[in-house]
Structure 1
Amino acid sequence: MDRVIGIDLGTTNSCVAIVDDGTPTVIPNRGGYKTTPSMVAVTEAGKRLVGHIAKRQAITNAENTVSAAKRLIGRKWNSSQVKNSVLTSSYQIVEGPHADVRIKLRDNSYSVPEISAMVLQEMRVIAEDFLSESVSKAVITVPAYFNDNQRQAVRDAGQIAGLDVIRIINEPTAAALAYGFGKNYEKLIAVYDLGGGTFDISILEIGAHGVFKVIATAGDTFLGGEDFDALIIDWLVQSFKEQHDIDLRQDRMALQRLKDAAEKAKCELSSVKETEINLPFIISSGRNEALHLQQTISRQTLETLCEDLVQRTVEICRQTMLDARLDKDEIEDVILVGGMTRMPRVQEAVAGFFQREPCKGVHPDEVVALGAAIQGAALVDDAHEMILLDVTPHSLGIMTFGSVFEELIAQNTTVPTAQTKIFTTSRDNQTAVKILVMQKEGQQADDFELLGEFILTNLRRAPKGQVEIEVTFEINADGIVNVSAKDMETGQGQSIQVTASSGLTKDEISNMIESAKEYMVERRSSEEFEAARQEAETLIAEIERLFPQVEVVVAASDFGREAVNKARRILKDAKSAIESRDLNQVKSQTEALARTHRMFKGVVTKTQ
């Protein structure tokens, strides 16, 4: 049976897990950390860095280090969120060929799914190193409020990373799976998920025999820890400008240092009342005088700065409870997910709204990946008794005459589902209708996204309102939307499968898959070479250490002198194989080195 990994592709950090002998387990990376920064960088030499190694060099290579790419995934270039990121990012964001978003690193432009694929590829490598076997199947999580294009972009990223994405599931739902796994709970819970870049709230009913039913979900895909950091950065920039009349935002390296310091201060203020931000030599003045930034920030200042953001999450919770037609006292447990829920003010606000202390029994950084792994195991193994009933986070419908949105599938409808409505022609003698399939994005009246369109032709000429057209929307378990329209009189129909787009063409995805494969082959052979080089260099050092003693013992005989000369040749050949980076040569020289080392050790041992 294929192993399925669960990946939480986060804005700030990512995490990978597996179900091993029935137990969900988070897989640590090589450094022993359970989470890996979702950061990608390209060095001056053109080398790709992912994770901790990318984060460590972010300050000195700010322009070529990408963080928080998830906030851009699946978005159009002209969206307000992208415009915001262009202004605040230390790396360059440019318009792509399909009005999509591209990120410029050194001389290349990368699509956002490509950047995310690099992070997913790293997660895959972490899992393969841990399991000592190759992994191809994965369940990847996304914010519950992601739209179809954003979900498709994550699927594309998985595909580019060489993964067969067997299911995309919502992060709060995954957290609930991990919370209820193997416990036979029967309760109504709320999952409050405030991560690095996104916010979700989901209300779920956990039933007997492993039934997880989502009642309602809502969120904001541009509200998270990054926004809290941005407010601290604004506060620091403003006070520095008042002191020195210099805007630190104009310097990319200074901006990256501010980002690091803001995130660190925010985290520290979860456990202390105040902390000092000290950034020496942050910038030079016009008179070439080095300036330093030194500020003390208190928890109270942070809470005042961020209160609006916290209240935005509470307002979304309030709306979700109204949509679900539930009272607060019906919620039996509240689960906190995402690093931002460590902030005391966030915990207070959640406890205040739900009128109960949140559950402390899950790990906010790991629970989503664990839930994804549980779902993955359930999909390939029938022994896992688990039924997951999720909902559609956005309402779907068509745009009718006069730009009126006619809803067919309401937000929070359990999927799979199908709905039908009858419409009539809006003009006399109308022989064709254009069906515009729309998705409602937010609370604003004009907040829509066009998912697809098609035309139903050959309608009977008649006064307006007399020809009836039946429109049907269907959503399957994978969230794929099919829309059909039928002339009620003739039975003639037309349909469309709404294929969400990440902004990439099939050819682009194929090329990206190939280049990702090449990178993996190169990386694996480079890792193999490094391991062989280390082994060879250890033996070389050991032989060179024993050389003086061996020479003294065997110098008297011709045979001994020949053996010493042969050992010298082996050392020389091994060093030259390492220098030429020839893996096969290094391997064969390592065998010769091992034989020489055994002989030298034998000689030295006899003389002792």
Structure 2
Amino acid sequence: MHNALSSKYSSCRRATSRRALSLTNGASQFVRGSAASPLINHSTSPSFHHGTISSPRRTNVRVQKRTRHSTLHVACQKVVGIDLGTTNSAVATVEGGKPAIVANAEGGRTTPSVVAFTKSGAQLVGHIAKRQAVVNPENTFFSVKRFIGHTIDEVQEESKQLPYTVVSDDKGNAVITVPAYFNDSQRQATKDAGRIAGLDVLRMINEPTAASLAYGLGKKGHETILVFDLGGGTFDVSVLEVGDGVFEVLSTSGDTHLGGDDFDQRVVDWMVGDFVAIENVDLKRDRQALQRLTETAEKAKIELSTLTQTNINLPFITATADGPKHIDQTLTRAKFEQLCDDLIERCRIPLEKALRDAKLKLDLSEIDEVIMVGGSTRIPAVQALVKKLTGKEPNLTVNPDEVVALGAAVQAGVLVGDISSIVLLDVTPLSLGLETLGGVMTKLIPRNTTIPHDKEEIFSTAAENQSSVEINVFQGERDFVKDNKLLGNFKLDGIPPAPRGVPQIVVKFEIDANGILSVIASDKGTGARKDIKITGASTLSDDEIDRMVEEAEKNAAQDKVMREAVDTKNHAESMAYQCKKQLEEFKDKITGDTKSRVEAKLQELHEAIDGEDTTMMKEHMESLQKEMMQIGQEVYGHHDASGQGPTGTGGGGTSSSRPSSDDVIDASFTDTTPD
């Protein structure tokens, strides 16, 4: 049984408004009047509430957003930018006001994202680790970025394709990049990895945003650019406005499980399939063979970016009772594109979605440049798709392997003061909100809201003597929480017994520059406070993200009808409560006939509520409201008759107990609280 709270105020920064919400308690063991409960939304009840609603939205206010957060103190002024990639990683720093790649110990500008542990206990990283992978596949780890922030169950199927085993397990300064569609859990896991490595991670920024920083540094004119980032394991698309040192992200979309590894896997599957057909041997059962196939597939993919065909030659790939077996095949670019056709097509959906969210035309007529990022954008079929969808030649002047690291270095330079002419305004990719009465998803921070950002609501109890409330935090685009992702929940206890509407409970959402969410609830009367930092509760897969956005669009009309039904019931219950309260309060000032008529209409409304009939609820609310107006007339008439009201003066005129229309002012008001 749920109790209820009602929202009194809403604020975003200093903006406040009268708005009502309802929080749902998922714990059925609590009883009405004594425990955690949902909130009632009765802000739009026509007879009792006026006001305005302030919805969170993206703004272009730069200074206020930056000064809301504490000053960043950096102990070591040398800060690097790190592109932590699925396949390769790169490091850059700012020298003389410009970003530059830092070469590794072997002189390379990028380093394979590979780690190995030898039998002697030595730890190998990068090229050295990659070179010994064939002879040590069980202890050589690559593409681990695809597993970061996920549970063991979520990666179980893909882990079967790897030569190593995936298991579960409960110092300098850096800016690290992450895919734009990484969820809270993945971002926190990345930040933790940096801390474990001895780095103080000053900021995490989205990879497409970092690429735009590197591209737009020093540009004076205003441009709208699209960043198409297809890396080794993830795919992101972002639309940004760049100019005069301001980089504002308009929208972002992506697929956290689409990248070069998937193209490699198609070639591996093709080779394995042919080998099974010819030799009746499954090479996936041989870990060393699987490692050789994976490396060869990547090499073939790279060669087909410049050649129309490549030869695959793997002698002694395995052995049977008949002797050693070999692979000697020719793979053409046309065959490769056929194998990967559906992967290339998957790039279309996030691109078109990013354009819709940025309010741009699908032909990209408003886009000035298309920046290609990530090694997989070298695939001719990918470039052809981008050209087909945009009508523009992709900009290939930036090095797709290095541009993200260079952009991270630019952000690092901004943080330590080496670069002072840039303001970065990034966005959150998915909406964040609370569960409200009736299972409604009430969004406090909509997707594509500029971050860092905060939003708070002030609630009041909607049940007598309510002592606690449970706050359920969700992420997603649907109107009902059952279709969205639960991030976490907590309960605020210790609310003193009080009449409905008296306590004030502040709930605040804060999303930082890294995209990590904190939720705080506090009782203004007692100072009691509870909070939660969403670090590991969210494990959204790419399929879940796509489902959320697509189903939100597909079911918008149905959700609107259901939402209206829930809101109508909430408003009806609120009106019934207020009506009963006024009947009790003014029982000595109204006639028995008026009281009987109001009670009859109130009973009809209760019956409509019990019958879940939305149309009847609306009709009975309207008729009850008319009867309630009679209460007001009699109360004020009683007030004037007692001689306490103003008395008309002057000769010969008649006076009325009702004010002149010239004296009546209809006003909407907003309650404000100090920031």
Structures share fold, TM-score greater than 0.5: yes
2:442 to 385, 400, 406: 406
Residue of structure 2 in register with 1:569 after alignment = none
Residue of structure 1 in register with 2:203 after alignment = 167
Residue of structure 2 in register with 1:194 after alignment = 230
Residue of structure 2 in register with 1:381 after alignment = 417
Please tell me the residue identity of whatever aligns with 1:321.
Answer: L
Q: RMSD in angstroms over aligned alpha carbons?
A: 2.8
Structure with the largest fraction of helix: 1
- C-alpha distance in 2 between matches for 1:442 and 1:35: 41
Q: CA deviation at 1:221?
A: 1.4
Q: Is the contact made by 2:441 and 2:478 (CA closer than 8 Å) also made in structure 1? A: no
Q: State the identity as a percent.
A: 50
Residue of structure 2 in register with 1:90 after alignment = 163
- C-alpha distance in 1 between matches for 2:475 and 2:270: 37
- C-alpha distance in 1 between matches for 2:460 and 2:236: 38
Residue of structure 2 in register with 1:238 after alignment = 273
Q: CA deviation at 1:453?
A: 2.0
Q: CA deviation at 1:451?
A: 3.4
Q: Is the contact made by 2:487 and 2:537 (CA closer than 8 Å) also made in structure 1? A: no
Cα distance per residue 1:401-437 (max 9 Å; x no partner): 5654332211110012223457787988754321122
Cα distance per residue 1:291-330 (max 9 Å; x no partner): 1122211111111111211121211111111112112111
Is 1:264 paired with 2:299?
yes
Please tell me the residue identity of whatever aligns with 2:160.
Answer: L
Residue of structure 2 in register with 1:10 after alignment = 85
- Relative to 1, partners in 2 of residues 1:289 and 1:237: Cα closer, same or farther, differing over 3 Å? same
1:408 is paired with a residue whose SS is: strand
Larger mean CA deviation between 158-167 and 414-423 belongs to 414-423
Is 1:299 paired with 2:333?
yes
- C-alpha distance in 2 between matches for 1:461 and 1:298: 76
Residue of structure 1 in register with 2:511 after alignment = 475
Is 1:321 paired with 2:321?
no
Q: Is the contact made by 1:484 and 1:493 (CA closer than 8 Å) also made in structure 2? A: no
- C-alpha distance in 2 between matches for 1:411 and 1:359: 28
Q: Is the contact made by 1:482 and 1:495 (CA closer than 8 Å) also made in structure 2? A: no
- C-alpha distance in 1 between matches for 2:314 and 2:500: 71
1:329 is paired with a residue whose SS is: coil
1:153 to 170, 176, 189: 189
Q: Is the contact made by 1:391 and 1:413 (CA closer than 8 Å) also made in structure 2? A: yes
Q: CA deviation at 1:288?
A: 4.5
1:414 is paired with a residue whose SS is: strand
* Bigger Rg, structure 1 or 2: 2
- Relative to 1, partners in 2 of residues 1:484 and 1:237: Cα closer, same or farther, differing over 3 Å? same
Residue of structure 1 in register with 2:282 after alignment = 247
Please tell me the residue identity of whatever aligns with 1:412.
Answer: N
Residue of structure 1 in register with 2:319 after alignment = 284
- C-alpha distance in 2 between matches for 1:225 and 1:484: 40
Q: CA deviation at 1:147?
A: 1.2
- C-alpha distance in 2 between matches for 1:196 and 1:190: 19
Q: Is the contact made by 2:442 and 2:479 (CA closer than 8 Å) also made in structure 1? A: no
How many residue pairs align between the two structures? 461
Residue of structure 1 in register with 2:123 after alignment = 48
- C-alpha distance in 1 between matches for 2:141 and 2:501: 55
- C-alpha distance in 1 between matches for 2:348 and 2:443: 27
Q: Is the contact made by 1:233 and 1:262 (CA closer than 8 Å) also made in structure 2? A: yes
Residue of structure 2 in register with 1:558 after alignment = none
Q: CA deviation at 1:196?
A: 0.2
Is 1:22 paired with 2:101?
no
Alignment of 1:407-486 (within 5 A): 407-421=443-457, 431-440=467-476, 448-459=484-495, 471-485=507-521
- C-alpha distance in 2 between matches for 1:273 and 1:388: 42
Q: Is the contact made by 2:238 and 2:250 (CA closer than 8 Å) also made in structure 1? A: yes
- Relative to 1, partners in 2 of residues 1:420 and 1:39: Cα closer, same or farther, differing over 3 Å? same
Is 1:73 paired with 2:148?
yes
- C-alpha distance in 1 between matches for 2:136 and 2:228: 35
- Relative to 1, partners in 2 of residues 1:187 and 1:242: Cα closer, same or farther, differing over 3 Å? same
- C-alpha distance in 2 between matches for 1:466 and 1:237: 70
Q: Is the contact made by 1:156 and 1:502 (CA closer than 8 Å) also made in structure 2? A: no
Q: Is the contact made by 1:189 and 1:332 (CA closer than 8 Å) also made in structure 2? A: yes
- Relative to 1, partners in 2 of residues 1:444 and 1:331: Cα closer, same or farther, differing over 3 Å? farther
- Relative to 1, partners in 2 of residues 1:495 and 1:323: Cα closer, same or farther, differing over 3 Å? farther
TM-score normalized with structure 2 length: 0.64
- Relative to 1, partners in 2 of residues 1:4 and 1:382: Cα closer, same or farther, differing over 3 Å? closer
Residue of structure 1 in register with 2:401 after alignment = 365
Larger mean CA deviation between 469-478 and 59-68 belongs to 469-478
Q: Which consecutive unaligned segments of at least 5 residues does structure 2 have? A: 1-75, 539-675
1:348 is paired with a residue whose SS is: helix
Residue of structure 1 in register with 2:631 after alignment = none
Q: Which consecutive unaligned segments of at least 5 residues does structure 1 have? A: 99-134, 504-608
